[in-house]
Structure 1
Amino acid sequence: MTPLDLTTRRADTDAPLITPLVERWSPRAYDPAAELSDDDVRTLLEAARWAPSANNLQPWRFIVARRGTEAFTTVHDALLGFNQAWADSAAALIVNIAEVADESGAPRPWAKYDLGQAVAHLTVQAQHDDLHTHQMGGFDGARLAEAFGLREGLEIVSITAVGKVGDADALPEPLREREVAPRRRKPLDELVISAA
């Protein structure tokens, strides 16, 4: 296996950032032999748990499916398109769920935003722990909700692949090309509408 030179994946930032943010990127090539320990999983979820949320409601839930388990197969089989072509080598697939309504049906309008914060915390912690994550939106949410018996008011928003970086040459084209392509971001002046 010949993993990528991770120094080539560092972000070329316009301002100094902390190391986990500079080094964070979303690989598709994962080491199929790497595993997550119970402590690894607990640490990632603990980082998510301490994210801020509206009224401290913490409207996030997670399904952690480690490679080699029935849950992993269920999540992997619900992935769509190219996601199935590479996600099978991740050490785990984490289903990210927003509690958009509580058990009485009362809406939680900021739940998806809050879940995003929790997943971002998980992602930065993973990077700090020498793990990499890749967020996915291509999946059959209804299939997963049924498979895991999710109640009304719980909405699957994304799935996060987690693991150690693997060999980009193991990816099918054009995914291999995308894996090694230069990283780009829009400049700040395109993103900021007004700054005083």
Structure 2
Amino acid sequence: MDHIKIANTKHDVLDLIKNRWSPRSFSDKVISENDLNTILEAAAWAASANNEQPWQYYYASKSSDGFARIADSLFGGNKPWAQNADVLIVAVARKTYEANQTENPTALHDLGMANANLLLQASELNIYGHMMGGFDKAKISETLELSETQAAVAVIALGYRDEAEKLEEPFKTRELTPRVRKPLNEFVFPQN
């Protein structure tokens, strides 16, 4: 398991960012309650518009019935490997401000900030997260009894990394393929 997908950056990016990636092979090792709470608290400290903190996390450990209910909402490309994670987390955005129930146009952005904190804190603890958009949003909303003002945005598989060889194809190849990103000139546009 020496193969870690360290990002090959052109600039001096923090090691914590370079080392974060989204594996599909998870071991049977259990995440301690303290580590899980540390990861979730990191999300709490993300920046948010008006300090609204419009994120909510519904999670279940592999040994619980809740885990099976969340896993049941995953699409076919995610279910085979995600069910081996130790924890599944549903990341939910509260779409309205708490104070006046009007639309919060930055809720998804703010949830993304919280998710980034969560993933980086997990990485610092040698725990890996894999974000998934491939799930049945209506099914998970019903399972979690979400209201009209809540939107299930992502499911996060969380656990300790394991050998890529235990995965079936095409997941094994994806696990071993080097990470790549677009160069800056494709998404950064200086204005003079």
TM bucket normalised to smaller: over 0.9
Tell me the equivalent position of 2:2. 5
Q: Quote the Cα distance in structure 1 between the aligned partners of 2:102 and 2:119.
A: 29
Q: Unpaired segments of 5 or more residues in structure 1?
A: none
By how many angstroms is 1:6 displaced? 3.7
Q: 1:159 aligns with which of 155, 158, 165?
A: 155
Residues 60 and 89 in structure 2, CA contact (< 8 A), matched pair in contact too: yes
Aligned to 1:89, the other structure's residue is in SS state: coil
Q: Quote the Cα distance in structure 2 between the aligned partners of 1:26 and 1:102.
A: 31
Q: Quote the Cα distance in structure 1 between the aligned partners of 2:111 and 2:187.
A: 22
* RMSD after superposition: 1.3
Q: Give TM-score, length-normalised by structure 1.
A: 0.93
By how many angstroms is 1:194 displaced? 2.0
Q: 1:182 aligns with which of 174, 178, 181?
A: 178
Q: Give TM-score, length-normalised by structure 2.
A: 0.95
Tell me the equivalent position of 2:89. 94
Tell me the equivalent position of 2:146. 150
Question: Residue type matched to 1:37 in 2?
Answer: S
Q: Quote the Cα distance in structure 1 between the aligned partners of 2:34 and 2:160.
A: 15
Question: Residue type matched to 2:91 in 1?
Answer: N
By how many angstroms is 1:42 displaced? 0.7
| Number of equivalenced pairs | 191
Q: Does 1:23 align with 2:41?
A: no
1:195 to 1:175, Cα distance in 2 relative to 1, 3 A: farther
Aligned to 2:75, the other structure's residue is in SS state: coil
1:1-196 matched pairs, under 5 angstroms? 4-7=1-4, 9-31=5-27, 33-102=28-97, 105-194=101-190
Q: Quote the Cα distance in structure 2 between the aligned partners of 1:6 and 1:68.
A: 29
| Percent identity of equivalent pairs | 39
Aligned to 1:121, the other structure's residue is in SS state: helix
Question: Residue type matched to 2:133 in 1?
Answer: G
Question: Residue type matched to 1:136 in 2?
Answer: M
